Amino acid sequence: MNREFRKFAITMTDQAVLSGLNMFIGGLFIAAAPKEEYGTYTLAFAFVLLLNSVQNAVITTPLTANGARLGSTEQENMVDAMFRLQTGLVAALGVATAAGLWLWALAHHGPWSGQLTLGVALAVVGAWMREFRRTEHFLRLDAKKVFAGDLIFVGLASVCLVALYWKAETMRASWALLIVGLAGVATGATRLSHLLTRRGSSTARRSNLALLADQVRWTLPNVFVTWGQTTSYSYVVALVAGSAAVADLSAARLFLTPVSFAVLAWSRLFMPRAGALLSVDDSWTVFRLTRRGALELIGLLVLYSLSIAFFFGLGGASLLPAKYSTVSTLVALWGAYFVTNLIRGVATTALMAHAAFRVLLIDTLWAALLSLPLMIGLGYLRGAAGVVYGMMVGELVLAVLLWRELRIRSTSQSDALGYRHGVARGIEG
């Protein structure tokens, strides 16, 4: 087994473990909670994912795309500077999230849940701390440390969830968010000691902030555009069909969750490798590896989809609670969506490695302007399924635009290399 495949196998296993935790939480809600409670958790978690995407735009993507091109000392300085920046940002976001939820409840004259507010705020902080730990180890291509930390995270969360379920015989959105948030804080806190023991380089902090100022003006707006196109579906479904429909759609999506984590596993390993190749202007190899990765992931998706079809063909739907017995058609629809999402996601990762953040924002904006009205319009006509159809159209359009950009970049670089080699041969002749 070669080293690259071993790292991919470890990362795939790691993502499967994380996926298993999400499926386990969803299973607890499906088995023991009202649909409305599961819908509340889905909506709250979508908000957590939005703020997680902000971290991705401001911290983890710039760190990976730029840090992969640096030597070990410069890389460590950048990691330290970015963590210090993240610490201030996530503390402010945690407070702002709690205050915002309280003000929202006040403005809508609804019941304010201090437990849910605390759960959402803590889930945001825990997700940021855990993801920085993972990004740092991925940057150094240390998949084993990523896996070890995630095993501890999943173990802590699972034990607490089981203990709470055993005692209460039900599940609530606030409990799940609190537990996942605390587990994230516990396993992501190891780097906090660096804030006390290592002063860090002020020069490195200034240079990193200057780099961020140039890149974040494109990555941060793209977060909200992408979230609107790919993650806001739960809010659209709640608007057009109610929170029970959100629960149905979320339950169906659980069956395809391992697919999204397979793509994420590939992306986390690909980004540092692509950054190293681009540091020597080898964009053609990056394009070739991107294309190969897309084909391999599509193959995995097809095999996995066949196993899901086999499960439902043998009457697997009967194993679900009666209130979720009709989700099989939504599972098939999610399978079709994830094909388009996979093709688009692979191209997005490659362009992030290119630091092509302006292009990503413009292309994603065009796709979102098409898909968001479709999601709402088709949602009113076809319910939850219509929302997924609208998302699928947006993913297809965006995939075409991004792969076209990748092809242009790889071809122009290949032509430039050919020209330089030709000139060199002419001089030698």
Residue type, 211: L
Distance, CA of 356 to CA of 353 (rounded, Å)? 8
Tell me the backbone φ, ψ of residue 142, rounded to 5 degrees: -105, 80
Angle between the 35-55 and 114-139 helix axes, to the nearest 10 degrees? 40
Strands (E), 86-243: none
Other C-beta atoms closer than 10 Å to the C-beta of 167 total: 8
Q: Encode pLDDT of 117-129 as tens digits.
A: 888 889 999 999 9
Please classify residue 292 by burial: count the beta carbons closer than 10 Å to its beta carbon, then call 0-12 exposed, 13-18 middle and 19+ buried: exposed
Distance, CA of 124 to CA of 179 (rounded, Å)? 12
Taking the CA atoms of 422, 423, 426 and 428 in sequence, report the sign of the dihedral they define.
negative
| Residues constituting the chain | 429
Distance, CA of 8 to CA of 350 (rounded, Å)? 17
Tell me the backbone φ, ψ of residue 64, rounded to 5 degrees: -70, -45
Residue type, 108: H
Name the residue among 345, 72, 77 with its Cα closest to residue 203.
77
Residue type, 28: L
Torsion angle in degrees (nearest 10) through CA of 238, 240, 241, 242:
30
pLDDT of 156 reads: 94
Distance, CA of 39 to CA of 323 (rounded, Å)? 14
Distance, CA of 291 to CA of 243 (rounded, Å)? 39
pLDDT of 211 reads: 66
pLDDT of 427 reads: 37
Other C-beta atoms closer than 10 Å to the C-beta of 376 total: 16
Structure tokens at 130: 């855990």
Taking only the tens of pLDDT, the chain with its 429 residues reads: 567 667 777 888 888 888 889 889 988 888 888 888 888 888 888 888 888 888 888 888 888 877 777 777 788 888 888 888 888 888 888 888 888 877 776 665 555 567 788 888 899 999 999 999 988 888 887 888 999 999 999 999 999 999 988 888 888 888 999 999 999 998 887 777 666 666 655 666 666 666 666 777 777 787 778 777 777 788 888 888 777 788 888 888 888 877 777 787 888 788 888 878 887 878 889 999 999 999 999 998 899 889 988 888 887 777 777 777 778 888 889 999 999 999 999 999 999 888 888 899 899 899 989 998 999 999 889 888 899 999 999 999 999 999 999 999 887 655 544 444 443 334 344
Element (H, E) at 314: none
Q: Encode pLDDT of 136-158 as tens digits.
A: 888 887 888 999 999 999 999 99
| 409 Cβ neighbours under 8 A, 6+ residues apart | 283, 287, 354, 356
Name the residue among 135, 127, 136, 138 with its Cα closest to residue 184.
127
pLDDT of 150 reads: 92
Please classify residue 102 by burial: count the beta carbons closer than 10 Å to its beta carbon, then call 0-12 exposed, 13-18 middle and 19+ buried: middle
pLDDT of 421 reads: 42
Name the residue among 382, 391, 47, 39 with its Cα closest to residue 240.
382
Residue pointed to by tokens 């629809």: 333
Angle between the 143-168 and 173-188 helix axes, to the nearest 10 degrees? 150
CB 28 within 8 A of CB 235: no
Distance, CA of 185 to CA of 119 (rounded, Å)? 13
